[in-house]
Chains A and B, each alone.
Chain A
């Protein structure tokens, strides 16, 4: 089965600082990888996804992620954090049609 591991359950950054959220995957087949964000009392919103092709994927709200096969990683970055980025972030791999395997999530705190 395919799985993902998110390193760091809590990450704190200052407003304007670089955001780096880590995700490593395990897969015996080419993975399809996703990053979702969840704001309090809401569902999940897709930030970006990697399927095939370009390994640097740009998403919404200034986020991007790079697929590195050699490192089995798909880390999420944003050059400059904004207060509104505070939320829970989930990395996921689609191991069966319609079935996402999620990481445990990383809670991002942005301080003024």
Chain B
């Protein structure tokens, strides 16, 4: 089974621009979560989607948004980029079906490294 894929792998943008990152989950997985990884803040949860609906959201400004399509692929968008948005953005997928769901394993993609100049 193919793993989680993320595109693009590397991206360079300038302040004020917007960016869209893409994530394709493992086949059969319906939950997609997004994380931001920076040296200063570590790994932080952005949001989680299941069946095209956002179920949970982390503590990030409204400039960060996402969506999920009917085939479970997900995109996240960052508008009005700031220097502090430079990070590794990781996507993870899981089945999403288990009651409660907290014990499910999340499988991570390789990430998209975003550099904002």
Contact = CB atoms under 8 A, between A and B. Distances in A.
Q: Real complex partners, A and B?
A: yes
Contacts of A45: 108
A89 interface: no
B64 interface: no
A17 interface: no
| Contact residues of B: prevailing secondary structure | strand
| Contact residues of A: prevailing secondary structure | strand
A90 B43 contact: yes
Nearest to B90: A43
B102 A94 contact: yes
Interface stretch (A18-26, A64-72, A73-81, A96-104): A96-104
Nearest to B100: A97
24 contacts: A34-B105, A41-B110, A43-B4, A43-B108, A43-B110, A43-B111, A44-B92, A46-B107, A52-B103, A95-B102, A96-B56, A97-B56, A97-B100, A97-B102, A98-B31, A98-B94, A98-B101, A98-B104, A99-B48, A99-B56, A100-B35, A100-B92, A100-B106, A105-B42
